[in-house]
């Protein structure tokens, strides 16, 4: 078993993230991507049904458009909520993989459920801090992202919550802020470039087999998967970076990780 609980270089973190994702792709796909695909599928069916209902009713065209907009807004909110919960579940799954255990879909979401109050409160504070930062000419928002990047890991692994989780993130990152920013920025660039390439491939597939302007449900599912498949990569890198920092500062080891994950 590869040891991920050690001091790692930037290259080792990126390489380790890719290795973990590939080795546990099935579980991580189900944990993160499958819920999003299901949401997209349901939203698409609902949108098609709504559009068909009004298709032959010229008098209610404006009403139909309004309903479609509302449907899309609700779908986007649901997708965001699912993404947030899936991101937390990924933290648990990656941590289990680092222990040499096979990540479990049910176990990962059970952990999120057990800490749902702390998680939601922390996420709300995190979101407010970042939004306020970006409202102050962008740079403070980037700083907030870097300072608070370990807050969710502190919730899911250490069972902290709220302001305590935010303070914990700031303390962990101290002395490594530029390095942490570089690692996450690099993984985001890799993920974005990869997603653009996959989106191009997906677009070509749809162009060859379906109507580009109005693709079918199956084509949309393929598009959804291919354009989201690399989304967990920066999240995995963030978890490994969190462990790297704790190893450097606290001599963190496998026994402590296991105790935090399995302890009450």
86-114: per-residue pLDDT in tens? 889 999 999 999 988 899 889 999 999 99
Q: What is the CA radius of gyration of the chain?
A: 20
Distance set, CA 231 to CA 47, 69, 97 (Å):
25, 26, 18
Sequence-ordered list of residues with C-beta below 8 angstroms from that of 173, at least 6 positions apart, any chain: 146, 147, 149, 150, 180, 245
Residue 19 in contact with residue 113, Cβ under 8 Å?
no
**Looking at the domain assignment, is residue 119 inside a domain?**
no
What span, in angstroms and rounded, lies between the C-alpha atoms of 163 and 151? 9
Residue 82's pLDDT is what? 75
Q: How many CB atoms lie within 10 A of CB 215?
A: 20
- What value does the mean pLDDT take over residues 69-81? 63
The range of the structural domain enclosing residue 93 comes to 10-113+176-262
Give the residue among 191, 263, 139 at the shortest CA–CA distance from 183. 191
Task: Classify residue 67: in a domain, yes or no.
Answer: yes
In a 3-state reduction of DSSP, which class is residue 216?
Answer: coil
Q: Is residue 96 in a domain? A: yes
| Verdict on whether the full-model pTM lies above 0.85 | no
User: What's residue 243's pLDDT?
Assistant: 94
The answer to whether residue 163 is domain-embedded is no
Give me the residue label for tokens 């590939």: 22
209 domain-assigned: yes
How far, CA to CA in Å, does 250 sit from each of 7, 57, 122, 171, 190? 11, 67, 23, 12, 30
Question: Residue 38 above 50 pLDDT?
Answer: yes
Residue 19 domain-assigned (yes or no): yes
pLDDT of residue 59: 46
Q: Which tokens hold the place of 63?
A: 């009403």
Q: Return all residues near 95 (Cβ < 8 A) that are at least 6 apart.
A: 156, 157, 239, 257, 261
High-pLDDT (> 70) share of the chain, %: 75
Residue 148 lies in a domain: no
Q: How many distinct structural domains can be found in the chain?
A: 1
In a domain, 128, yes or no: no
């Amino acid at each position: 078993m590869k040891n991920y609980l050690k001091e790692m270089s930037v290259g080792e973190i990126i390489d380790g993230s890719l290795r973990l994702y590939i080795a546990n792709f099935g579980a991580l796909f189900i944990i993160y991507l499958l819920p999003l695909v299901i949401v997209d599928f349901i939203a698409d069916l609902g949108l098609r049904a709504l559009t068909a209902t009004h298709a032959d009713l010229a008098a209610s065209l404006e009403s139909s458009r309004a309903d479609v907009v509302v449907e899309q807004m609700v779908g986007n909110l649901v997708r965001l909520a699912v993404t947030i919960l899936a991101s937390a579940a990924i933290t648990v799954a990656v941590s289990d993989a680092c222990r040499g255990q096979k990540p479990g879909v049910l176990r990962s979401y059970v952990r999120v459920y057990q800490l749902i109050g702390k998680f939601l409160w922390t996420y709300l504070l995190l979101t407010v801090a970042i939004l306020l930062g970006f409202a102050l000419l962008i740079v403070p928002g980037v700083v907030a992202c870097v300072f608070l990047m370990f807050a969710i890991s502190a919730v899911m692994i250490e069972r902290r919550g709220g302001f305590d989780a935010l303070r914990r993130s700031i303390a962990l990152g101290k002395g490594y802020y530029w390095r942490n920013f570089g690692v996450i920025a690099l993984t985001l660039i890799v993920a974005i470039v990869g997603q653009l390439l996959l989106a191009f491939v997906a677009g070509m597939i749809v162009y060859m087999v379906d109507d580009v302007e109005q693709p079918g449900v199956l084509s949309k599912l393929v598009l959804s998967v291919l354009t989201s498949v690399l989304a967990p990569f920066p999240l995995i890198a963030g978890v490994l970076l969190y462990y790297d920092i704790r190893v450097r500062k606290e001599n963190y080891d496998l026994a402590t990780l296991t105790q935090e994950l399995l302890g009450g």
